[in-house]
Chain A
């Protein structure tokens, strides 16, 4: 039984509700109106990154690897595995801020911020998803999952989720994870929205190419735009995301 937060990237509409819910859940007051005024300010542990084309996004968070590279390299033993084995947890009191965990993390989910529970409230320590261990122990789903109104984030036993996941249209997953645009998928309410983003990215690329063709002195590196699917950095990024 491996309980996890599973990501359906093709369903993410980039609303960032998971980020807000995560920060509030990891605040002292757990009250939206007061949380952002706390010191140290509570931080989100899930980050919604803009996708390679407009209208795509990916909520990125700790995947709780097992074995976890971060745990293996942590020199102070601050990173441990929960008793049930599902979660990789950080003890802020033991963190020395060396960032080795961040160096080896395959998903770049580590952030460094002052945190309640650390040696002091000024020094940055490693902060990442704790799987909402408090909520889950009360029988609730993680805060990011609760806040997600489009089922981009779902929570459950991984094999059960994968069983239902096999019904997904693989083409859509690949397209929205960044490899190649595919036509809108019938019945998906977000398809039109996503195809608009794909078209917009293509138009933007075309405009940039047209401009650079009119300016012979412009070298190629200066023409990249956000979401340029042809840029080398995106190809690297796409490969990484495609592996998930």
Chain B
């Protein structure tokens, strides 16, 4: 490939000092990273970027020429609208399936636990079990925990098929929104059903109407947000504990030069929970000491890291784009992975060091990795085996190649809906009062991934900081949470970064202005909180001064999340263009027409300051709609402080 553009210097690729140093080191050592591979792929396929290519059948593959000179229809006759809508539908089905299959794995173990099986797992939060059972109409009075758990498992297993009229947790949605969904025929009926139906509809010669396809895409996403993801969150809380505010540490500085370092990477807490337990067993700690290490240090990456941080305060090494760089420290004995967002390349990077990559899910194998098939029936035993493998890799570590670039930053996590209500004194009323009084203007969920097309974490950090400066409470999950933690925006004392209103509320409650609500399936917590606020006020979710943002998204799961957030009535700003711009009709529907149908829409804005402006105007307009004090949206201009990107220096 004859290209003249060079990969940008590390300062353009990330805002973080730890990442910059490791990128420089990877270059010096000739180790290929995600940024090198993106560069090799550029320019990327124009048809695919616009959503105008279709590979759904063997009469194709087909492309629509966006410039009008070439073909305007696929071999089957599908036009740009149909092809773009089909592709988006399949993307959402893939994302929704990922969260929901994760939820199913948790549910299966929960069902085993309910029936007395599955080594190493138990009902941890019995009160939550009974509360959810009550909510779903399962009798709890005078019944044993086991009886209630069995019934709850049966109820939720049925959610995956299509035996019921609608998903159990749809009962949490305000009635007025449920009616809207029913009117549009987008009430989610069965988790697997909606995904299968999406695949069916996008087969050649089924659904060719882009509006009809997109409506079903929304229903598919709702089966994730109020189904698969919500089941994953709620059952994980019941089995592993409902998160409570906890202090942790974040960035590559959480690795220890004198300890066996194990990074847990992926998504499902089933694995990480038993690994954390095994790493504390005296026998394994003694084994580590016999090799000269002072102990065993478990750290998290991506959403598994968030699950562990939320519930146990386990330290966080980094988010999506840190997964290769954490290996470049030379300090990891093992990276233990399950599924989702784990780059196949980690195996190649690990080969440059003594690090073992251990795959554990039979659904997710990595050529070159050591596979240890994870069976929850023998969870505790397998966890011990994995930790032992890591400990035994310690003598192979070359200490002269170990470089831990920074000192860690402290961050607070653990804000489940229960924890937030707890901090507010048991009811959402103080938060509602603060919003009504205008002390807090509204709340925004800043969520989603990293994408090497953008400087890592710049948008997460700048958007979040601009919002809190303007008295908007920010809720974070996934990679966005790690970004803000690393930037020092997630400690109670970070309230000093917030505007005077939000600051006073945070200081009174002792909470950060940016609340960590968990992993990406835990976006269901945000849905639940939004529904609870709407119910408390007796309005629909779309009336509330709320917004969503996925500034650096990359994954199909993020598209599913964005879709269910919008379908639930919360307008969402994306920082990366989705592959829909080949169809003006699809763009106009998602960025405009949808507002009249579900009361929310999508916007795309890669500039964090412009995105913040867009969101502030949106929130003031919603306040106006509720009859609350507001600034006329057109009078809001960019922050004086906005415009200068931060460089986060985590050295201390």
A binding-site residues for B, Cβ under 8 Å: 15-17, 19-21, 23-24, 32-33, 35-37, 41-44, 139-141, 145-149, 151, 154-156
Contacts and interface: CB of A to CB of B under 8 A. Distances in A.
Given A17-B46, A43-B69, A146-B43, A33 B581 contact: yes
Given A42-B67, A44-B67, A44-B69, A24 B46 contact: yes
B635 interface: no
A149 B67 contact: no
Contact of B45 (A17, A35, A146): A17
A226 B46 CA distance: 27
Contact of A33 (B45, B63, B577): B577
Interface stretch (B2-10, B160-168, B360-368): B2-10
Contacts of A24: 46
A41 B67 contact: yes
Contacts of A23: 67
For chain B, which range describes its interface: under 10, 10 to 19, 20 to 34, or 35 or more residues? 20 to 34
Contacts of A21: 43, 46
A151 B1 contact: yes
B49 interface: yes
Contact of A149 (B1, B581, B584): B1
B66 A36 contact: yes
Contacts of A149: 1
Mostly, the B contact residues are loop
B46 A32 contact: yes
Interface string B1-28: 1111100000000000000000000000
Given A33-B581, A139-B4, A20 B69 contact: no
A36 B67 contact: yes
B578 to A, nearest CB: 10
B2 A146 contact: yes
Contacts of B577: 33
A170 to B, nearest CB: 23
Nearest to A146: B3
A149 B2 CA distance: 9
Interface in B329-361: none
B589 interface: no
Contacts of B581: 32-33
A24 B3 CA distance: 17
Sorted from nearest, which 8 A-B pairs have the closest CB atoms? Answer: A20-B46, A36-B66, A33-B581, A140-B4, A23-B67, A141-B2, A147-B43, A146-B3
Nearest to A47: B69
Contacts of A146: 1-4, 43
Residue of B49, B63, B67 most packed against chain A (CB within 10 A) = B67
Nearest to A16: B63
A155 B4 CA distance: 11
Contacts of A141: 2-4
A33 B45 CA distance: 12
B142 interface: no
B70 interface: yes
A19 B527 CA distance: 44
A35 B3 CA distance: 22
Contacts of A147: 43, 46
Given A17-B46, A33-B50, A145 B2 contact: yes
Nearest to B581: A33
A160 to B, nearest CB: 12
Contacts of A139: 4
A103 to B, nearest CB: 21
B30 interface: no
Contacts of B63: 16
B70 A16 contact: yes
A7 to B, nearest CB: 13
Contact of B1 (A33, A42, A140, A148): A148
27 contacts: A16-B47, A16-B63, A17-B43, A17-B46, A19-B65, A19-B67, A20-B66, A24-B46, A33-B49, A33-B50, A33-B577, A33-B581, A35-B67, A36-B50, A36-B68, A36-B582, A41-B67, A41-B68, A43-B67, A43-B69, A44-B67, A140-B4, A141-B4, A146-B1, A146-B2, A147-B43, A148-B1
A37 B1 CA distance: 29
A85 B68 CA distance: 33
Contacts of A41: 67-68
Contacts of A44: 67, 69
B554 to A, nearest CB: 18
Nearest to A147: B43
Given A43-B67, A147-B43, A32 B49 contact: yes
Contacts of B67: 19-20, 23, 35-36, 41-44
Nearest to B46: A20
Nearest to A155: B2
A42 B65 CA distance: 12
A156 B2 contact: yes
B296 to A, nearest CB: 45
Given A20-B46, A32-B49, A36-B68, 18 more contacts: A16-B63, A17-B46, A19-B65, A19-B70, A21-B46, A23-B67, A32-B50, A32-B581, A33-B50, A35-B66, A35-B67, A37-B584, A41-B68, A43-B67, A140-B5, A145-B2, A148-B1, A156-B2
Nearest to B49: A32
A26 to B, nearest CB: 10
Interface string B512-533: 0000000000000000000000
Contacts of A35: 66-67
Nearest to B577: A33
Interface in B47-69: 47, 49-50, 63, 65-69
Nearest to A37: B584
A151 B1 CA distance: 6
Contacts of B4: 139-141, 146
Contacts of A32: 46, 49-50, 581
Contacts of B70: 16, 19
Contacts of A37: 584
Nearest to B604: A33
A139 B5 CA distance: 10
A109 to B, nearest CB: 14
A42 B45 CA distance: 18
A41 B66 CA distance: 10
A117 B8 CA distance: 34
Contacts of B582: 36
Contacts of B68: 36, 41
Contacts of B49: 32-33
Interface string B241-255: 000000000000000
B623 to A, nearest CB: 32
Nearest to B42: A146
Interface in B534-588: 577, 581-582, 584
